[in-house]
Chains A and B, each alone.
Chain A
Amino acid sequence: MAKPLHLGFLYAPQSGHQTHDESFDPLNPIHLTSLARDLEGAGFAFLLVDDSVGHAAPARSEAFTTASFLATRTRHIGLIAAANTSYVEPYNVTRLAASLDHVTHGRAGWLVATGVADPAGANYGQAAFAPDLHYQRAEEILDIARRLWDSWEDDAFVRDKRSGVFVDGAKIHPIDYIGASFTVKGPLNVARPPQGQVIVAHRVVDRRSAEFAGRHADIAILGAATAGDIAALRANVIAAASGARREEQHVRLFAEIVPVIGPDHAAGAPGATSASFLSGTATKIVDEIEALTNAVTLDGLLVAPRVLRSGLDAFSRDVVPELVRRQRLLSANGSITLRERLNLSRPRNIFEHKAPQHASTAG
Protein backbone atom coordinates (compact mmCIF):
# COMPACT_ATOMS: atom_id res chain seq x y z
CA MET A 1 0.00 0.00 0.00
CA ALA A 2 1.56 3.29 -1.11
CA LYS A 3 2.05 5.96 1.53
CA PRO A 4 0.71 9.52 1.44
CA LEU A 5 2.70 11.94 -0.70
CA HIS A 6 4.21 15.38 -0.58
CA LEU A 7 3.47 17.64 -3.50
CA GLY A 8 6.05 20.00 -4.90
CA PHE A 9 5.38 22.44 -7.70
CA LEU A 10 7.71 23.18 -10.57
CA TYR A 11 7.77 26.79 -11.69
CA ALA A 12 9.68 26.90 -14.96
CA PRO A 13 7.83 29.09 -17.43
CA GLN A 14 9.08 28.89 -20.99
CA SER A 15 11.62 26.20 -20.46
CA GLY A 16 11.38 22.46 -20.66
CA HIS A 17 7.76 21.62 -21.31
CA GLN A 18 6.14 24.53 -19.47
CA THR A 19 4.48 27.53 -21.08
CA HIS A 20 2.12 30.10 -19.65
CA ASP A 21 -1.26 31.60 -20.42
CA GLU A 22 -1.30 35.10 -21.84
CA SER A 23 -2.95 36.27 -18.65
CA PHE A 24 0.03 35.13 -16.57
CA ASP A 25 3.14 37.30 -16.63
CA PRO A 26 6.15 35.67 -14.93
CA LEU A 27 7.67 39.10 -14.31
CA ASN A 28 4.60 40.48 -12.61
CA PRO A 29 5.05 40.34 -8.82
CA ILE A 30 1.29 40.27 -8.25
CA HIS A 31 0.89 37.21 -10.49
CA LEU A 32 3.81 35.51 -8.75
CA THR A 33 2.38 36.26 -5.33
CA SER A 34 -0.99 34.86 -6.27
CA LEU A 35 0.61 31.71 -7.70
CA ALA A 36 2.63 31.08 -4.53
CA ARG A 37 -0.31 31.74 -2.22
CA ASP A 38 -2.58 29.43 -4.21
CA LEU A 39 0.01 26.66 -4.03
CA GLU A 40 0.26 27.21 -0.30
CA GLY A 41 -3.50 27.05 0.01
CA ALA A 42 -3.70 23.86 -2.04
CA GLY A 43 -1.29 22.14 0.36
CA PHE A 44 1.89 22.00 -1.70
CA ALA A 45 4.98 21.35 0.42
CA PHE A 46 7.24 23.46 -1.75
CA LEU A 47 7.49 25.68 -4.77
CA LEU A 48 10.56 24.99 -6.84
CA VAL A 49 11.63 28.16 -8.64
CA ASP A 50 13.60 26.79 -11.53
CA ASP A 51 16.08 28.85 -13.47
CA SER A 52 18.26 28.87 -16.53
CA VAL A 53 21.31 30.89 -17.43
CA GLY A 54 21.66 29.21 -20.81
CA HIS A 55 18.25 29.62 -22.43
CA ALA A 56 18.25 32.79 -24.48
CA ALA A 57 14.50 33.45 -24.38
CA PRO A 58 13.49 35.95 -21.71
CA ALA A 59 11.26 33.97 -19.41
CA ARG A 60 11.32 34.92 -15.78
CA SER A 61 13.29 36.50 -12.96
CA GLU A 62 16.33 34.97 -11.28
CA ALA A 63 15.39 32.23 -8.84
CA PHE A 64 16.89 33.40 -5.52
CA THR A 65 15.64 36.95 -5.96
CA THR A 66 12.21 35.60 -6.84
CA ALA A 67 12.10 33.17 -3.92
CA SER A 68 13.24 35.92 -1.53
CA PHE A 69 10.42 38.14 -2.74
CA LEU A 70 7.91 35.31 -2.28
CA ALA A 71 9.26 34.56 1.20
CA THR A 72 7.47 37.64 2.49
CA ARG A 73 4.29 36.90 0.56
CA THR A 74 3.88 33.35 1.93
CA ARG A 75 3.94 31.70 5.35
CA HIS A 76 4.23 27.93 5.16
CA ILE A 77 5.33 26.75 1.75
CA GLY A 78 8.91 25.65 1.13
CA LEU A 79 10.78 27.79 -1.41
CA ILE A 80 13.47 26.04 -3.41
CA ALA A 81 15.55 28.15 -5.77
CA ALA A 82 17.76 26.87 -8.57
CA ALA A 83 21.35 27.96 -9.08
CA ASN A 84 23.84 26.52 -11.53
CA THR A 85 27.14 25.57 -9.90
CA SER A 86 29.03 25.82 -13.18
CA TYR A 87 28.65 29.59 -13.28
CA VAL A 88 28.71 30.89 -9.71
CA GLU A 89 31.21 31.67 -7.01
CA PRO A 90 30.69 29.26 -4.11
CA TYR A 91 30.79 32.02 -1.49
CA ASN A 92 28.04 33.94 -3.29
CA VAL A 93 25.64 31.05 -3.81
CA THR A 94 26.20 29.72 -0.30
CA ARG A 95 25.18 33.01 1.27
CA LEU A 96 22.21 33.39 -1.06
CA ALA A 97 20.88 30.03 0.12
CA ALA A 98 21.68 30.70 3.78
CA SER A 99 20.00 34.10 3.59
CA LEU A 100 16.91 32.69 1.88
CA ASP A 101 16.67 30.25 4.77
CA HIS A 102 16.72 33.16 7.23
CA VAL A 103 14.07 35.24 5.50
CA THR A 104 11.80 32.19 5.13
CA HIS A 105 12.45 31.09 8.73
CA GLY A 106 13.72 27.74 7.55
CA ARG A 107 11.67 27.08 4.42
CA ALA A 108 14.53 27.33 1.93
CA GLY A 109 16.00 24.89 -0.50
CA TRP A 110 18.57 25.03 -3.29
CA LEU A 111 18.13 23.09 -6.49
CA VAL A 112 21.70 22.40 -7.56
CA ALA A 113 21.83 22.62 -11.33
CA THR A 114 24.94 22.21 -13.45
CA GLY A 115 26.14 23.19 -16.87
CA VAL A 116 25.38 19.66 -18.05
CA ALA A 117 21.64 20.31 -18.00
CA ASP A 118 21.91 24.05 -18.60
CA PRO A 119 25.03 24.85 -20.60
CA ALA A 120 25.77 28.58 -20.65
CA GLY A 121 29.53 28.94 -21.11
CA ALA A 122 29.07 31.53 -23.83
CA ASN A 123 27.60 33.95 -21.31
CA TYR A 124 30.51 33.44 -18.95
CA GLY A 125 33.52 33.46 -21.23
CA GLN A 126 33.95 29.72 -20.75
CA ALA A 127 34.57 27.06 -23.35
CA ALA A 128 32.29 24.06 -23.01
CA PHE A 129 33.71 21.42 -20.73
CA ALA A 130 33.06 17.76 -20.03
CA PRO A 131 30.11 16.65 -17.89
CA ASP A 132 32.49 15.18 -15.33
CA LEU A 133 34.09 18.56 -14.82
CA HIS A 134 30.72 20.22 -14.30
CA TYR A 135 29.97 17.64 -11.65
CA GLN A 136 33.39 17.91 -10.08
CA ARG A 137 32.75 21.60 -9.68
CA ALA A 138 29.31 20.91 -8.22
CA GLU A 139 30.84 18.46 -5.73
CA GLU A 140 33.35 21.07 -4.61
CA ILE A 141 30.76 23.80 -4.26
CA LEU A 142 28.49 21.56 -2.20
CA ASP A 143 31.38 20.65 0.03
CA ILE A 144 32.24 24.34 0.49
CA ALA A 145 28.61 25.32 1.05
CA ARG A 146 28.09 22.72 3.75
CA ARG A 147 31.17 23.88 5.63
CA LEU A 148 30.31 27.55 5.26
CA TRP A 149 26.75 27.00 6.50
CA ASP A 150 28.29 25.47 9.62
CA SER A 151 31.02 28.08 9.99
CA TRP A 152 28.92 29.93 12.57
CA GLU A 153 27.70 27.71 15.35
CA ASP A 154 24.08 28.16 16.36
CA ASP A 155 25.02 29.94 19.56
CA ALA A 156 27.88 32.03 18.17
CA PHE A 157 25.96 35.22 18.86
CA VAL A 158 26.17 36.36 22.47
CA ARG A 159 24.75 39.88 22.00
CA ASP A 160 25.17 40.77 25.65
CA LYS A 161 24.46 44.48 25.86
CA ARG A 162 25.82 44.72 29.38
CA SER A 163 29.26 43.23 28.72
CA GLY A 164 29.47 44.34 25.09
CA VAL A 165 30.31 40.83 23.93
CA PHE A 166 28.63 40.49 20.54
CA VAL A 167 29.90 37.09 19.44
CA ASP A 168 31.84 34.18 20.84
CA GLY A 169 34.82 34.04 18.50
CA ALA A 170 35.50 30.40 19.40
CA LYS A 171 32.22 29.48 17.73
CA ILE A 172 33.01 31.11 14.40
CA HIS A 173 35.20 28.94 12.19
CA PRO A 174 37.27 29.56 9.11
CA ILE A 175 36.87 26.60 6.75
CA ASP A 176 40.28 26.89 5.01
CA TYR A 177 39.02 24.98 1.99
CA ILE A 178 41.52 24.21 -0.76
CA GLY A 179 40.23 22.19 -3.70
CA ALA A 180 40.89 21.65 -7.39
CA SER A 181 38.80 24.63 -8.49
CA PHE A 182 38.30 26.75 -5.40
CA THR A 183 40.04 28.15 -2.36
CA VAL A 184 37.74 29.53 0.30
CA LYS A 185 38.92 30.71 3.65
CA GLY A 186 35.63 31.49 5.39
CA PRO A 187 33.88 31.95 7.69
CA LEU A 188 30.63 32.83 5.94
CA ASN A 189 29.23 36.31 6.64
CA VAL A 190 25.79 34.90 7.46
CA ALA A 191 24.60 33.25 10.66
CA ARG A 192 23.94 29.50 10.50
CA PRO A 193 20.71 28.88 8.57
CA PRO A 194 17.63 28.09 10.69
CA GLN A 195 17.57 24.59 9.17
CA GLY A 196 21.24 24.14 10.00
CA GLN A 197 21.84 23.05 6.45
CA VAL A 198 19.65 24.38 3.67
CA ILE A 199 17.66 21.67 1.87
CA VAL A 200 19.54 20.56 -1.26
CA ALA A 201 17.64 19.25 -4.25
CA HIS A 202 18.93 17.74 -7.48
CA ARG A 203 17.32 16.54 -10.67
CA VAL A 204 18.07 12.93 -11.49
CA VAL A 205 17.92 11.93 -15.13
CA ASP A 206 20.92 9.65 -15.53
CA ARG A 207 23.55 7.75 -13.61
CA ARG A 208 25.80 10.75 -12.99
CA SER A 209 23.03 12.91 -11.58
CA ALA A 210 21.82 9.95 -9.52
CA GLU A 211 25.33 9.60 -8.06
CA PHE A 212 25.39 13.25 -7.10
CA ALA A 213 21.89 13.22 -5.64
CA GLY A 214 22.62 10.09 -3.66
CA ARG A 215 25.66 11.66 -2.11
CA HIS A 216 24.35 15.17 -1.49
CA ALA A 217 20.65 15.73 -1.99
CA ASP A 218 17.87 15.86 0.55
CA ILE A 219 15.42 15.84 -2.34
CA ALA A 220 16.09 13.80 -5.47
CA ILE A 221 13.75 14.63 -8.32
CA LEU A 222 13.46 11.60 -10.55
CA GLY A 223 12.70 12.56 -14.13
CA ALA A 224 11.67 9.72 -16.42
CA ALA A 225 8.65 8.79 -18.50
CA THR A 226 7.79 5.36 -17.15
CA ALA A 227 7.49 3.75 -13.75
CA GLY A 228 10.23 1.32 -14.74
CA ASP A 229 12.67 4.08 -15.62
CA ILE A 230 11.77 6.02 -12.45
CA ALA A 231 12.42 2.89 -10.41
CA ALA A 232 15.81 2.47 -12.07
CA LEU A 233 16.81 6.07 -11.27
CA ARG A 234 15.58 5.57 -7.74
CA ALA A 235 17.74 2.47 -7.34
CA ASN A 236 20.78 4.41 -8.57
CA VAL A 237 20.16 7.19 -6.05
CA ILE A 238 19.76 4.73 -3.19
CA ALA A 239 22.90 2.87 -4.21
CA ALA A 240 24.88 6.11 -4.33
CA ALA A 241 23.48 7.17 -0.96
CA SER A 242 24.50 3.94 0.71
CA GLY A 243 27.87 4.16 -1.03
CA ALA A 244 28.29 7.53 0.65
CA ARG A 245 27.19 5.97 3.95
CA ARG A 246 24.01 7.94 3.99
CA GLU A 247 20.86 6.31 5.20
CA GLU A 248 18.20 5.70 2.62
CA GLN A 249 15.58 7.49 4.68
CA HIS A 250 17.60 10.71 4.51
CA VAL A 251 16.83 11.16 0.83
CA ARG A 252 13.35 12.23 -0.16
CA LEU A 253 12.44 10.84 -3.55
CA PHE A 254 10.13 12.78 -5.82
CA ALA A 255 9.00 11.91 -9.32
CA GLU A 256 8.29 14.69 -11.77
CA ILE A 257 4.83 14.41 -13.29
CA VAL A 258 3.16 16.47 -15.99
CA PRO A 259 -0.58 16.29 -15.47
CA VAL A 260 -2.70 16.98 -18.52
CA ILE A 261 -6.23 17.20 -17.23
CA GLY A 262 -9.07 16.87 -19.63
CA PRO A 263 -11.64 14.49 -21.04
CA ASP A 264 -10.47 10.94 -20.87
CA HIS A 265 -8.30 10.61 -23.93
CA ALA A 266 -4.85 9.32 -24.37
CA ALA A 267 -2.55 12.29 -24.89
CA GLY A 268 0.86 10.68 -24.87
CA ALA A 269 4.00 12.42 -23.79
CA PRO A 270 5.24 14.76 -26.52
CA GLY A 271 8.55 13.03 -26.83
CA ALA A 272 9.84 14.25 -23.50
CA THR A 273 11.38 11.66 -21.22
CA SER A 274 12.37 13.78 -18.23
CA ALA A 275 8.94 13.55 -16.64
CA SER A 276 5.98 11.25 -16.42
CA PHE A 277 3.03 12.51 -18.42
CA LEU A 278 -0.33 11.67 -16.87
CA SER A 279 -3.41 12.59 -18.83
CA GLY A 280 -7.11 12.22 -18.61
CA THR A 281 -9.76 13.01 -16.04
CA ALA A 282 -8.77 13.80 -12.48
CA THR A 283 -9.87 10.34 -11.40
CA LYS A 284 -7.75 8.71 -14.04
CA ILE A 285 -4.74 10.85 -13.13
CA VAL A 286 -5.03 9.91 -9.48
CA ASP A 287 -5.38 6.27 -10.53
CA GLU A 288 -2.14 6.63 -12.47
CA ILE A 289 -0.45 8.32 -9.52
CA GLU A 290 -1.48 5.39 -7.35
CA ALA A 291 -0.24 2.93 -9.93
CA LEU A 292 3.07 4.78 -10.10
CA THR A 293 3.53 4.97 -6.35
CA ASN A 294 2.50 1.33 -5.93
CA ALA A 295 5.19 0.41 -8.44
CA VAL A 296 7.90 2.74 -7.07
CA THR A 297 8.28 3.83 -3.47
CA LEU A 298 8.20 7.62 -3.54
CA ASP A 299 7.97 10.41 -0.97
CA GLY A 300 6.32 12.85 -3.27
CA LEU A 301 5.57 14.21 -6.68
CA LEU A 302 6.90 17.30 -8.37
CA VAL A 303 3.92 18.61 -10.27
CA ALA A 304 4.92 20.35 -13.48
CA PRO A 305 1.84 21.44 -15.39
CA ARG A 306 2.37 22.28 -19.02
CA VAL A 307 0.57 25.59 -18.80
CA LEU A 308 0.78 28.20 -16.05
CA ARG A 309 -1.60 28.98 -14.49
CA SER A 310 -4.46 27.02 -16.04
CA GLY A 311 -2.68 23.69 -15.55
CA LEU A 312 -2.20 24.42 -11.86
CA ASP A 313 -5.73 25.65 -11.39
CA ALA A 314 -7.16 22.47 -12.91
CA PHE A 315 -4.82 20.32 -10.80
CA SER A 316 -5.73 22.12 -7.58
CA ARG A 317 -9.43 22.08 -8.36
CA ASP A 318 -9.76 18.50 -9.56
CA VAL A 319 -6.77 16.35 -8.67
CA VAL A 320 -5.83 17.61 -5.19
CA PRO A 321 -9.30 16.95 -3.67
CA GLU A 322 -9.24 13.44 -5.12
CA LEU A 323 -5.80 12.82 -3.58
CA VAL A 324 -7.14 14.10 -0.26
CA ARG A 325 -10.20 11.88 -0.54
CA ARG A 326 -7.99 8.86 -1.05
CA GLN A 327 -5.75 9.98 1.85
CA ARG A 328 -2.76 10.27 -0.42
CA LEU A 329 -1.76 13.85 0.41
CA LEU A 330 0.50 14.69 3.34
CA SER A 331 -0.41 17.86 5.20
CA ALA A 332 1.93 20.37 6.80
CA ASN A 333 1.00 18.86 10.13
CA GLY A 334 2.19 21.79 12.22
CA SER A 335 5.70 21.81 10.80
CA ILE A 336 7.49 25.12 10.39
CA THR A 337 10.64 24.43 8.41
CA LEU A 338 10.87 22.58 5.11
CA ARG A 339 13.15 20.08 6.82
CA GLU A 340 10.50 19.38 9.45
CA ARG A 341 7.84 19.10 6.82
CA LEU A 342 9.89 16.49 4.98
CA ASN A 343 10.60 14.77 8.29
CA LEU A 344 14.33 15.30 7.99
CA SER A 345 16.30 16.00 11.15
CA ARG A 346 18.33 19.15 11.66
CA PRO A 347 21.99 18.26 11.08
CA ARG A 348 24.55 18.65 13.79
CA ASN A 349 27.19 21.30 13.11
CA ILE A 350 30.40 19.70 11.81
CA PHE A 351 32.51 22.19 13.76
CA GLU A 352 30.83 21.66 17.10
CA HIS A 353 32.89 18.71 18.23
CA LYS A 354 36.05 20.54 17.23
CA ALA A 355 35.50 23.17 19.89
CA PRO A 356 37.72 22.84 22.93
CA GLN A 357 36.18 20.23 25.18
CA HIS A 358 35.02 21.37 28.58
CA ALA A 359 36.16 19.20 31.44
CA SER A 360 33.36 16.87 32.28
CA THR A 361 32.34 16.49 35.86
CA ALA A 362 29.61 14.00 35.15
CA GLY A 363 30.10 10.68 36.89
Chain B
Amino acid sequence: MSEQPILRVQSVSKRFGGVHALENVSVDLFPGEVLALAGDNGAGKSTLIKVISGVHRPDEGKISYDGAEVTFENPQKAREQGIETIYQDLALADNLDVGANVFLGREPMKRVLGLPVLDRKKMRTEAAEALRVLDIRINRFDLPLRSMSGGQRQAVAIGRAIHWNAKVLIMDEPTAALGVPEQRKVIALIKSLKQSGVGVIFISHNLVDIFAVSDRIVVLRRGQKVGEAATQATNSDEIVRWMVGG
Protein backbone atom coordinates (compact mmCIF):
# COMPACT_ATOMS: atom_id res chain seq x y z
CA MET B 1 0.00 0.00 0.00
CA SER B 2 1.28 3.41 -0.82
CA GLU B 3 2.45 6.12 1.52
CA GLN B 4 -0.01 9.01 1.57
CA PRO B 5 -3.75 8.54 1.89
CA ILE B 6 -5.63 10.00 -1.10
CA LEU B 7 -8.55 10.79 1.18
CA ARG B 8 -8.58 11.55 4.90
CA VAL B 9 -11.75 11.99 6.89
CA GLN B 10 -10.81 13.37 10.30
CA SER B 11 -13.16 13.48 13.27
CA VAL B 12 -16.19 14.31 11.17
CA SER B 13 -19.57 14.87 12.81
CA LYS B 14 -22.87 15.54 11.12
CA ARG B 15 -26.18 16.27 12.83
CA PHE B 16 -29.65 16.52 11.37
CA GLY B 17 -31.73 18.32 13.97
CA GLY B 18 -31.09 16.42 17.16
CA VAL B 19 -29.98 13.25 15.42
CA HIS B 20 -26.28 12.48 15.39
CA ALA B 21 -25.92 10.93 11.96
CA LEU B 22 -22.12 10.89 12.28
CA GLU B 23 -20.08 11.32 15.42
CA ASN B 24 -16.36 11.85 15.35
CA VAL B 25 -15.70 9.49 12.44
CA SER B 26 -12.21 9.21 10.99
CA VAL B 27 -11.39 7.15 7.91
CA ASP B 28 -8.38 7.03 5.61
CA LEU B 29 -8.36 5.77 2.04
CA PHE B 30 -5.17 4.95 0.15
CA PRO B 31 -4.69 4.83 -3.63
CA GLY B 32 -5.30 1.35 -4.97
CA GLU B 33 -7.14 0.32 -1.87
CA VAL B 34 -10.65 -1.04 -1.53
CA LEU B 35 -12.24 0.08 1.71
CA ALA B 36 -15.46 -1.62 2.65
CA LEU B 37 -17.97 0.33 4.68
CA ALA B 38 -20.21 -1.96 6.65
CA GLY B 39 -23.04 -1.34 9.04
CA ASP B 40 -26.71 -1.86 9.56
CA ASN B 41 -29.38 0.40 8.11
CA GLY B 42 -29.16 3.83 9.66
CA ALA B 43 -25.59 3.29 10.82
CA GLY B 44 -24.39 6.37 8.95
CA LYS B 45 -22.83 4.82 5.87
CA SER B 46 -24.85 6.94 3.44
CA THR B 47 -24.28 10.11 5.44
CA LEU B 48 -20.56 9.47 5.44
CA ILE B 49 -20.34 9.05 1.67
CA LYS B 50 -22.57 12.06 1.16
CA VAL B 51 -20.23 14.13 3.28
CA ILE B 52 -17.29 12.90 1.23
CA SER B 53 -18.96 13.44 -2.14
CA GLY B 54 -20.12 16.98 -1.39
CA VAL B 55 -23.84 16.40 -0.86
CA HIS B 56 -23.57 17.33 2.83
CA ARG B 57 -21.04 19.50 4.60
CA PRO B 58 -19.67 18.22 7.93
CA ASP B 59 -20.61 20.11 11.07
CA GLU B 60 -17.27 19.32 12.64
CA GLY B 61 -14.04 17.76 11.50
CA LYS B 62 -12.30 18.05 8.16
CA ILE B 63 -11.73 16.21 4.95
CA SER B 64 -8.42 16.21 3.12
CA TYR B 65 -8.08 15.08 -0.43
CA ASP B 66 -4.77 14.58 -2.18
CA GLY B 67 -2.94 16.14 0.75
CA ALA B 68 -5.02 19.33 1.00
CA GLU B 69 -8.05 20.19 3.08
CA VAL B 70 -11.19 20.50 0.97
CA THR B 71 -14.78 21.63 1.25
CA PHE B 72 -16.99 20.75 -1.70
CA GLU B 73 -19.93 23.04 -2.30
CA ASN B 74 -21.78 20.39 -4.26
CA PRO B 75 -21.24 16.94 -5.79
CA GLN B 76 -20.30 18.55 -9.10
CA LYS B 77 -17.26 20.18 -7.48
CA ALA B 78 -16.20 16.91 -5.87
CA ARG B 79 -16.52 15.15 -9.20
CA GLU B 80 -14.42 17.76 -10.96
CA GLN B 81 -11.67 17.03 -8.43
CA GLY B 82 -11.86 13.30 -9.04
CA ILE B 83 -14.24 11.98 -6.39
CA GLU B 84 -16.95 10.06 -8.21
CA THR B 85 -19.92 8.41 -6.59
CA ILE B 86 -21.82 5.61 -8.26
CA TYR B 87 -25.20 5.30 -6.65
CA GLN B 88 -27.30 2.20 -6.79
CA ASP B 89 -29.39 3.60 -9.63
CA LEU B 90 -26.17 4.20 -11.63
CA ALA B 91 -27.43 7.53 -13.03
CA LEU B 92 -27.35 6.34 -16.62
CA ALA B 93 -29.61 7.40 -19.45
CA ASP B 94 -30.86 4.00 -20.52
CA ASN B 95 -32.17 5.33 -23.82
CA LEU B 96 -28.69 6.41 -24.97
CA ASP B 97 -25.67 4.39 -26.03
CA VAL B 98 -22.42 3.83 -24.17
CA GLY B 99 -20.56 6.77 -25.70
CA ALA B 100 -23.38 9.18 -24.98
CA ASN B 101 -23.46 8.06 -21.36
CA VAL B 102 -19.73 8.28 -20.79
CA PHE B 103 -19.79 11.81 -22.19
CA LEU B 104 -23.15 12.86 -20.74
CA GLY B 105 -23.07 16.60 -20.11
CA ARG B 106 -19.55 16.91 -21.57
CA GLU B 107 -20.12 15.98 -25.19
CA PRO B 108 -17.21 16.67 -27.53
CA MET B 109 -18.03 18.72 -30.63
CA LYS B 110 -16.42 18.98 -34.03
CA ARG B 111 -17.04 21.26 -36.98
CA VAL B 112 -18.60 20.12 -40.22
CA LEU B 113 -18.92 22.83 -42.87
CA GLY B 114 -18.47 25.39 -40.12
CA LEU B 115 -21.34 24.00 -38.04
CA PRO B 116 -20.71 22.50 -34.62
CA VAL B 117 -21.88 18.90 -34.49
CA LEU B 118 -21.58 16.12 -31.93
CA ASP B 119 -18.40 14.12 -32.36
CA ARG B 120 -19.99 10.68 -32.19
CA LYS B 121 -16.94 8.84 -33.38
CA LYS B 122 -14.78 10.33 -30.66
CA MET B 123 -17.38 9.49 -28.03
CA ARG B 124 -17.58 5.94 -29.23
CA THR B 125 -13.86 5.27 -29.53
CA GLU B 126 -12.98 6.91 -26.23
CA ALA B 127 -15.79 5.11 -24.45
CA ALA B 128 -14.54 1.85 -25.92
CA GLU B 129 -11.04 2.71 -24.71
CA ALA B 130 -12.28 3.55 -21.21
CA LEU B 131 -14.00 0.18 -20.99
CA ARG B 132 -11.04 -1.64 -22.52
CA VAL B 133 -8.77 -0.26 -19.82
CA LEU B 134 -11.13 -1.83 -17.31
CA ASP B 135 -10.96 -5.09 -19.19
CA ILE B 136 -14.60 -4.91 -20.21
CA ARG B 137 -15.80 -5.88 -23.63
CA ILE B 138 -19.01 -4.57 -25.12
CA ASN B 139 -19.25 -5.30 -28.80
CA ARG B 140 -22.18 -3.08 -29.74
CA PHE B 141 -21.61 0.55 -28.95
CA ASP B 142 -24.60 1.76 -30.95
CA LEU B 143 -27.28 0.12 -28.80
CA PRO B 144 -29.02 1.88 -25.93
CA LEU B 145 -28.02 0.74 -22.45
CA ARG B 146 -31.57 -0.50 -21.99
CA SER B 147 -30.63 -3.59 -23.97
CA MET B 148 -27.66 -4.39 -21.74
CA SER B 149 -27.35 -6.47 -18.60
CA GLY B 150 -27.08 -5.08 -15.09
CA GLY B 151 -23.39 -5.93 -14.97
CA GLN B 152 -22.67 -4.20 -18.25
CA ARG B 153 -24.53 -1.11 -17.12
CA GLN B 154 -22.55 -1.10 -13.89
CA ALA B 155 -19.43 -1.37 -16.01
CA VAL B 156 -20.45 1.64 -18.08
CA ALA B 157 -21.02 3.67 -14.92
CA ILE B 158 -17.59 2.70 -13.63
CA GLY B 159 -15.99 3.29 -17.03
CA ARG B 160 -17.45 6.77 -17.11
CA ALA B 161 -16.03 7.60 -13.69
CA ILE B 162 -12.60 6.29 -14.66
CA HIS B 163 -12.61 8.07 -17.98
CA TRP B 164 -13.03 11.36 -16.17
CA ASN B 165 -10.01 10.58 -14.01
CA ALA B 166 -11.66 9.55 -10.78
CA LYS B 167 -9.07 8.99 -8.06
CA VAL B 168 -11.65 8.06 -5.49
CA LEU B 169 -14.63 5.98 -6.45
CA ILE B 170 -17.48 5.57 -4.02
CA MET B 171 -19.79 2.69 -4.83
CA ASP B 172 -23.09 2.40 -3.02
CA GLU B 173 -24.27 -1.22 -2.96
CA PRO B 174 -22.93 -1.97 -6.46
CA THR B 175 -23.94 -5.61 -6.26
CA ALA B 176 -27.33 -5.26 -4.58
CA ALA B 177 -29.52 -5.27 -7.68
CA LEU B 178 -27.63 -7.97 -9.55
CA GLY B 179 -27.86 -11.71 -9.95
CA VAL B 180 -25.08 -13.88 -8.56
CA PRO B 181 -23.04 -14.27 -11.79
CA GLU B 182 -23.16 -10.54 -12.38
CA GLN B 183 -22.18 -9.82 -8.79
CA ARG B 184 -19.02 -11.83 -9.41
CA LYS B 185 -18.28 -9.78 -12.48
CA VAL B 186 -18.64 -6.52 -10.62
CA ILE B 187 -16.31 -7.86 -7.94
CA ALA B 188 -13.79 -8.68 -10.67
CA LEU B 189 -14.25 -5.18 -12.00
CA ILE B 190 -13.49 -3.61 -8.64
CA LYS B 191 -10.35 -5.71 -8.40
CA SER B 192 -9.11 -4.49 -11.75
CA LEU B 193 -10.01 -0.94 -10.76
CA LYS B 194 -7.80 -1.30 -7.74
CA GLN B 195 -4.92 -2.33 -9.99
CA SER B 196 -5.13 1.01 -11.77
CA GLY B 197 -4.52 2.89 -8.51
CA VAL B 198 -8.03 4.12 -7.82
CA GLY B 199 -9.13 4.24 -4.21
CA VAL B 200 -12.50 2.57 -3.83
CA ILE B 201 -15.01 2.95 -1.02
CA PHE B 202 -17.37 0.05 -1.24
CA ILE B 203 -20.65 -0.03 0.64
CA SER B 204 -22.34 -3.36 0.97
CA HIS B 205 -24.61 -5.42 3.13
CA ASN B 206 -23.15 -8.54 1.67
CA LEU B 207 -20.32 -9.85 3.83
CA VAL B 208 -19.29 -12.38 1.19
CA ASP B 209 -18.69 -9.56 -1.27
CA ILE B 210 -16.93 -7.49 1.35
CA PHE B 211 -14.51 -10.26 2.13
CA ALA B 212 -14.02 -11.08 -1.52
CA VAL B 213 -12.93 -7.64 -2.59
CA SER B 214 -11.85 -5.35 0.24
CA ASP B 215 -8.48 -4.67 1.81
CA ARG B 216 -9.84 -3.03 4.91
CA ILE B 217 -13.21 -2.94 6.61
CA VAL B 218 -14.69 -0.08 8.60
CA VAL B 219 -17.84 -0.75 10.58
CA LEU B 220 -20.25 1.99 11.58
CA ARG B 221 -23.00 1.78 14.12
CA ARG B 222 -25.32 4.60 15.16
CA GLY B 223 -23.08 7.18 13.53
CA GLN B 224 -19.90 6.03 15.20
CA LYS B 225 -16.96 4.04 13.94
CA VAL B 226 -17.08 0.92 16.08
CA GLY B 227 -14.46 -1.17 14.36
CA GLU B 228 -11.75 -1.17 11.73
CA ALA B 229 -9.61 -4.07 10.61
CA ALA B 230 -7.55 -5.31 7.72
CA THR B 231 -9.73 -7.81 5.89
CA GLN B 232 -7.15 -10.58 6.25
CA ALA B 233 -6.97 -10.07 9.99
CA THR B 234 -10.65 -10.39 10.73
CA ASN B 235 -13.60 -12.64 10.02
CA SER B 236 -17.30 -12.25 9.44
CA ASP B 237 -18.19 -13.11 13.01
CA GLU B 238 -16.20 -10.19 14.28
CA ILE B 239 -17.69 -7.84 11.70
CA VAL B 240 -21.23 -8.91 12.55
CA ARG B 241 -20.50 -8.47 16.24
CA TRP B 242 -19.35 -4.90 15.55
CA MET B 243 -22.40 -4.24 13.39
CA VAL B 244 -24.95 -5.36 15.94
CA GLY B 245 -22.98 -4.24 18.94
CA GLY B 246 -22.94 -7.61 20.73
Q: Do A and B bind each other?
A: no
Chain A positions near chain B (C-beta within 8 angstroms):
none
